[in-house]
Structure 1
Amino acid sequence: MRPATRADDRDIDAVIRAAFGAADPGEGDKVADLWAEVRDAGLVLAELVSVVGEEVVGHVGVSHCWLDARRELVEVAMLSPLSTLPDHQGAGIGTALVGAAIEAARASGRPALFLEGSPAFYGSRGFERAGSYGLEPASRRTPEAAFQVVRFDAYADWMTGRLVYPDVWWRHDAAGLRDPDLAFLEDLFARELPPS
C-alpha cells in the first residue's frame, strides 16, 4: 500500500469502474467520474492504492467536507470511494485500505472521518453510527445505520450538526440513495442491525 500519484490516475479509474460496475456498469462509470471531479477540484485529503506486483488492485479516497456545528463550520473528512478489483476481493485489501484511510484522516488534523456505507463492513473496522453523537447526514436519503464516523482526538462534544458535502457530490446526485435502493437498504438494516 502506498500514496497514489498522478501517474496512477488511469489505473485508479479502472479499479473504481470495475469494482462499482461489477453489478451495474453505469454505477462504475458514475463513481469514477465523480472521483475524477473531486480530485480535479482539489478536494482530496488523501488517496491511497494497494498494489500487487506493478498492478493497482485497490484504492481509497479521503476528501474534504464540513460539519455545520452550531458554534462554527468544522472542516472534517469523508471516506469515499473504497474500491478493490473484483478478482482481488476477499483478500483483506479493503480492510487494509480502510485502516490506512483512517490513519491518513487522523494525520490530516481533521477531528472526524465520515462515510455512507455498510455498517456490517465498516462497523467492524472502527466506524460507529454517527447519529449516536448528534451528527446528521448531508441527505435525508442516507439510512441512519449507513451514516458512520470515526472521531479523533481533535473531536469535541460541541461538534454536532449536519454534514455538508462540497457541491460536486450534489451535481453527481451522490449524497444518499434514491428509491428503490434506499427502501431496500432501510428494510435490510432494520432487520439485520440492533438499534443504536
Structure 2
Amino acid sequence: MTHWNTRPETPADIAAVRAINLAAFETALEADLVDALRGDPTAWIDGLSLLAETPAGKAAGYALLTRCRVGGTPALALGPVAVLPEHQGEGAGSAVVRASLDVARASGENLVLVLGHPKYYPRFGFVPASRHGIKAPMEVPDEAMMVLVFDEGAPIPGGVIEYAEAFGV
C-alpha cells in the first residue's frame, strides 16, 4: 500500500485541486464548488483544504472542510473528497480525510457533517446525523447524511444544516 503524505493546500495547488476534482467526478460541479467556496470568506477556512501526495510529491487526493451551521451553531461540512482515478482504492482518500479530521479536531471544532457514501464514511466515526436531530436542507437518504462528533460531552446542536451559499441549498 502506498504511503500518502498529506498537507494543506497552498495557492500553487489550485490548478492541481481542480484537476483532481475534474478527474474524479463525471461533471465539473465539484471542481466549480471548490472554486466558489475558496472565494467565500464565510465558508473557507485556511488550512482545511488538504491534499494527499504520492511519495514522489504528486497531488493525488483532496478533501475540503468548510464552515456550515447547525441550528445557528458553527460546524464543518466535509466535501468534496476526490482522488485521481489511477490512485483510487490505494488509500489516498482515507489518508486525506483522516488528516482533515485531525486538523479540524486540533482546531477546536466539534461537529463535522458529510453527505456521502454510507459504507465509506463510518470507518472515520461518522454516524447518521438523524441520531443527533440534525437534518439536511434537502431530501436525502437518512444513512447518507452523517455526522462526526469529536466531543460527545459537549453540547451537540440539532436542526437543519445551513450550508455555504455555493452549495445552492
For the residue of structure 2 that corresponds to 1:14, the secondary structure is: helix
- Residue 95 in 1 paired to residue 74 in 2? no
Q: CA deviation at 1:102?
A: 1.2
Q: Comparing 34-43 with 112-121, which one deviates more in the overlay?
A: 34-43
TM superposition outliers: structure 1 runs of 4+ over 3 Å: 154-158
Q: Unmatched 5+ residue regions in structure 2? A: 1-5
Q: As a proportion of its length, which structure holds more helix?
A: 1
Aligned to 1:49: 51
Matched, 1:58 2:78: no
Work out which structure has the larger RCO, using CA pairs closer than 8 Å and 6 or more positions apart in sequence.
2
The code of the aligned residue for 1:168 comes to A
Q: Take 2:132 and 2:144, find their aligned partners in 1: how far apart are those partners? A: 14
Displacement of 1:111 in angstroms is: 2.0
Task: Name the CA shift for 1:144/1:3 in 2 (closer, same or farther; >3 Å).
Answer: same
The 1-side partners of 2:97 and 2:109 are apart by 16
User: Structure 1 length as normaliser, TM-score?
Assistant: 0.77
Cα deviation 1:170-193 (Å, max 9, x = unaligned): 1xxxx5xxxxxxxxxxxxxxxxxx
Which SS does the other structure have where 1:120 is aligned? coil
SS in 1 for 2:108: coil
Name 2:103's counterpart in structure 1: 104
Partner of 1:14: 19
Is the deviation greater in 145-154 or in 87-96?
Answer: 145-154
Contact 2:132 2:156 in 1 (8 A): no
Indicate which of 141, 144, 147 corresponds to 1:143: 141
Query: 2:16 & 2:156 partners in 1: Cα distance?
Result: 41
What amino acid sits opposite 1:169 in the alignment? F
Residue identity (%): 30
SS of residue in 2 equivalent to 1:163: strand
* Structure 1 contact 76–111 (Cα < 8 Å) conserved: yes
Instruction: Count residues with an aligned counterpart.
Output: 160
Report which of the two structures shows the higher radius of gyration computed on alpha carbons. 1
Is the 2:82–2:93 contact (alpha carbons within 8 Å) kept by the matching residues of 1? yes
Cα offset for 1:104? 1.8
Tell me if structure 1 keeps the 8 A contact 2:66–2:76: yes
TM-aligned CA deviation for residue 155 of structure 1:
6.3
Q: 2:32 corresponds to which residue?
A: 33
CA distance in 1, matches of 2:163, 2:153: 19
Deviations 1:134-170 (A, max 9, x none): 111122x221110001102276345111111121111
Bigger shift: residues 9-18 or 127-136? 127-136
Give the alignment of 1:116-135 within 5 angstroms.
Answer: 116-135=115-134
**Shift in CA distance, 155/64, structure 1 to aligned 2, threshold 3 Å:** farther
Determine helix, strand or coil for the equivalent of 1:104: helix
Does the aligned pair in 2 maintain the 1:110–1:154 contact within 8 Å?
A: no
In the TM superposition, residue 19 of structure 1 has moved relative to its aligned partner by: 0.5
> By how many angstroms is 1:87 displaced?
0.3
